[in-house]
A and B are shown apart, each in its own frame.
Chain A
């Protein structure tokens, strides 16, 4: 009985802790990419990801109404 109550308390604690974490702000993509590279020590991906992020920015801009001006800037 006591063990059950203890388990229930633990459960409640875990749920609250997780709920508190869930209410925080989302981390941004670049921060996550950096964490991923540093934790996994995959530094060889850094230049590739940096270039792809730039290209991605261009591609995103080229899907907006400003696309015709971006093409001409090339």
Chain B
């Protein structure tokens, strides 16, 4: 018997891994998984701060602006330079290269319209306000506000007026940069800038994800969960095992949940500090930036009344959990959006899993951090095989590239 026992155990685990059990899902399981399917994606949240958020003409203008390299100091950088459609609107680099090198990794734009906060540290509260950051960042597009307005006047005047009903006072602006602007001219500039952002946002909101294998697997479960053959053609045993780990023991679904596999909250998982000499304070810095930002929902350039800006009005400004915390990224297409973490510190999903499996506590420097960073994860104790299964599951979240969708390429 003593000799038989290990054999018996081995046989049982084989029988389990061997497919009969692994493809068996109860109604509660299916109900749980449905909430991760793209089918469960709610409509885009209303954007009261952007009056043209759902205007197709604004989206068309935004589409052109997004791909236009003229909107940069050297004429070579467009939004699409670092948010490339064929790479799921990322650039494949740890930190992006434009006029300079950015501090952080370029996140995907797909699904971003659902997030209350933008950027890794959430320092912007809308996609329109977010778009103004890179345009003016000396290391990215490197444009002064007046230069943006001059480019609009030169290349987009007609469309701009058509979308917004007036020119926002473009003609009041000086033809050349350098002089001092009047208060009125500065207001014109801010209005033009905000409209540029709002058009780009209208475009970005229209980008859609197509169902990935995982979504089709869930759809098959809903249709006929007993058809093992159909299920097996959609996801392999290893991928299903990975999915079970993802939802369960590996705790990934604690934060990476919902149809976009993110809760859009801020957490500190202790990813390696990219630059210990100048630590990244994450959400703590993002909140400070939001308080100073001139283009939030509460600003004069927003189309919303103050009562509509709930996230800003009740912004959480304090708490140890803000320090070094970053926004949970979506895991849609994650297998094709390497490298990972806020500054691309981890090159592969293997490295990411290895970090989660045996995480290091966040870097702490008393001189630089306002308080000891909160630490949000626990070691997982997964085997190599299990980590491989989770990675295999992540591959099933890859949507087909929408190459036939005109929004996924430069406008004609």
Q: Do A and B come from one complex?
A: no
Q: Which A residues contact B (CB, under 8 angstroms)?
A: none
Chain B residues with a Cβ under 8 A of chain A = none
